[in-house]
Amino acid sequence: MSKMTMTEKILAKHAGLDSVKPGDNIWVNIDILLTHDVCGPGTIGIFHREFGEDAKVFDREGVVIIPDHYIFTADEKAHRNVDTLREFVKEQDLPYFYEPGTPRYCGVCHLGLPQHGHVRPGEVIVGTDSHTCSHGALGAFSTGIGNTDAGFVMGTGKMLVKVPETIRFVLNGKKPDYISAKDMILRIIGDIGVDGATYCAMEFTGEAVDALTIDERITICNMAVEAGAKNGIIPPNQMTLDYVKARTGKEFTPVYGDPDAPVLKEYVYDVSTFVPCVAKPHIPSNYAPARDCTDIKLDRSYIGSCTGGKLEDFVMAASILKDRKVCIDTFIVPATTEIAEKLMTTEIGGKSLVTIFAEAGCLPIAPPSCAACLGGPIDTFGRTHGKEVVISTTNRNFIGRMGSKEAPIYLASPLTAAASAVKGYICDPRDL
């Protein structure tokens, strides 16, 4: 039997095959289908059209619905979308609906899904959101799909997949304290371009990756799609297994690739040489060291999203902001309710993160959601409306991504975003 990568082995297992190779078109059994308030109504419409108004989903426990994008808004169309989800959940008697306005609401789907035990190593997860690739951080094959594919999965539990080539990224060395996973993935995307991994699996290994926390692994895999990848994936270590076991009672079997499996390309890095960086407008591959951008004056700093709104992201930001003052509008947006609660209990130097942000002059903390990461309705927290220059911990900086088409967005780590909020211009955190 031929040697296979981690991605190939997971797909082969879920296709009932002994082996697969890149380019094979195979029918894969899906473990979890994720959808939310933006794409969920369209997916439901296609499901009903193709399978009938009385059709049932393939597995009640296999469909997870997490509204998160346009939640805290007065926009009637946004409310209508959630109503559509609510009606479908009732119709199908689905157990996993994280409903806004109830204690079950959890916030951003890409963090809520693993926090609530729906992501398990060795499984196949698809979702109607390009950043579903986040869940490869826990050793799953996870990818974003369109509404049509999702409607088919909803009815059958199967999907036709072309097995992707694998590009391996080996990250060695000790990560300096001023470097985060965001700096690592921005450097990689800067090197290979936004099309450098088109329809490939980006596999991240090496001692620096093995040392990353779950939060940091999610950041790296989340942004694999910004290089065009089909999925991002990291081999699960004991920390990963412990995280998952603490959140689910379901059995799972981790899958590991063959060390000598052939890959399309391999890139090797020494992260000890990495520097704090940004992605300049209007593309995530527009890499530049932060120290080369000190001439960029800022109007606001945005710390949040599935990429930059995790607990460790806020710990990083707070480590910079403690005993300092921001000089520009600084938005704090926790990704999930679990993270929002921990902002009140997690301390640095005897002060909670909430207190540190308040004393630094940040704006009042927003309720957990995607908020301005995808622009959203006009009343969305943090949305741009004019020519605001923004440094953001989000994952995309396309024109109009945070609302206004005139607002340039610089992507950065929480450390760099916080340091820049203090200075009012793009600032390397080492230079505070």
Query: Helices marked H in 193-268 — which ranges?
Result: 207-210, 214-222, 238-245
What is the pLDDT, as a whole number, of residue 2? 87
Q: Which fold has domain 6-248+259-268?
A: Aconitase; domain 3 (3.30.499)
The strand pairing partners of 332, in sequence order, are 303
* Residue at token pair 């939310």: 36
Report, as an integer, the average pLDDT of 194-204. Answer: 98
Domain boundaries, the chain: 6-248+259-268, 277-431
pLDDT, one tens digit per residue, over 343-375 is 999 999 999 999 999 999 999 999 999 999 999
What is the pLDDT, as a whole number, of residue 324? 98
| pLDDT tier, 432 (very low <50, low <70, confident <90, very high otherwise) | very high
Residue 307 to residue 214: CA distance in whole angstroms? 12
What is the pLDDT, as a whole number, of residue 203? 98
Report yes or no: 266 and 9 within 8 Å, Cβ to Cβ. Answer: no
| pLDDT tier, 1 (very low <50, low <70, confident <90, very high otherwise) | low
pLDDT, one tens digit per residue, over 25-70 is 999 999 999 999 999 999 999 999 999 999 999 999 999 999 999 9
Query: Helices marked H in 346-398 — which ranges?
Result: 353-360
Looking only at the bridges linking them, the beta strands covering 32-35 and 287-289 are: unpaired
Estimate the crossing angle of helix 214-222 against helix 311-321, to 10 degrees.
100
- Mean of the per-residue pLDDT values of the chain: 97
Phi-psi category of 291—alpha, beta or left, where left has phi over 0 and alpha has psi -120 to 50? alpha
Res 127 pLDDT > 90: yes
Q: Do 277-431 and 6-248+259-268 fall under one CATH topology?
A: yes
**What six digits make up the tokens of 84?**
């559509």
Residue 87: alpha-carbon gap to chain centroid: 27
- What's domain 277-431's architecture? 2-Layer Sandwich (3.30)
CB-based contacts of 360: which residues, under 8 Å, 6+ apart? Answer: 321, 322, 324, 325, 326, 330, 421
